[in-house]
Structure 1
């Protein structure tokens, strides 16, 4: 045989072998897939039957619970002899027992916490509290860092101006919880007028 004939015979054999192998594999896997599908159907059918049985048992149990229990005959006899009162009788009973009386407790008046003196070590230790420095002059005037006079010092620092010397001779530290502020009040031995004279004139 020639080389061409050998090549053609080889190709024909390979094609025939490939087709037959494909057919055998297809048949085998078709059978396997049918078996798997049948197995899944049987499993789901068994589960469905089990659920139906459980539902039927649950319905039967609930039906038994819904049946009213038979009341004792003495209670039934007592209820037959009981008369229903009219609305006025019930209204009198409610007022006599005191069901209609309600009392709303008065709201407690909210007391504003006054500023209080703290030690120098406590100054600035509260998170979220603003630290403000104030100056108390010899003539009794309280001002902020910019020299602005505080008109009502008692509202801001309470009676703290009377507490110089408790912790330090020339300073008092005050905390105001409602305002969330810590105040450092420093004593200045000058008068406010002397302090203002050291500042540049306003433009």
Structure 2
């Protein structure tokens, strides 16, 4: 075979191959375009279906609302207003339909206030009775005085200077029985009436022994 024939055969094969590739590429892109168009048409159809469903539901809802609302020549009474409000706004109703949410009136119900409102529960500690607090709460309130007391083995309660507390119940109530709740040798008591926090430390000595350690002029 001559060189000319070889060259002609080469270019002829290249042309045929290129035409084949072009044809296959054309068919592939045509298929992709058709799939894209179908996808767009399907999405549009779904959106139109939702819109028609919402409009239909709104129409039914409006009709039911008109039936429930009694005719009146004067202003709408509060009772009627509350009844209509229970179903929520039409826009909210339609929005829930478009979002595929269940149509439950309970989601937009506006609770009506009936009767007297409940009074807030009073604090467990009304301020009349001293009560035990944690060590972290001691001396934490502004305007409260922190006082240290000592509780001796013979049942005497005194301040730091050895002055005996006579009105124990008024000062700390029955909280001397609460040693060990937070600390074995200490209990902390708050007296709201006197605006005082008491730190009561346990002393294993009797008061008379402690008294001997004090200066004679106290």
Q: Same fold by TM-score, threshold 0.5 exceeded? A: no
* TM-score, normalised via structure 1 length: 0.44
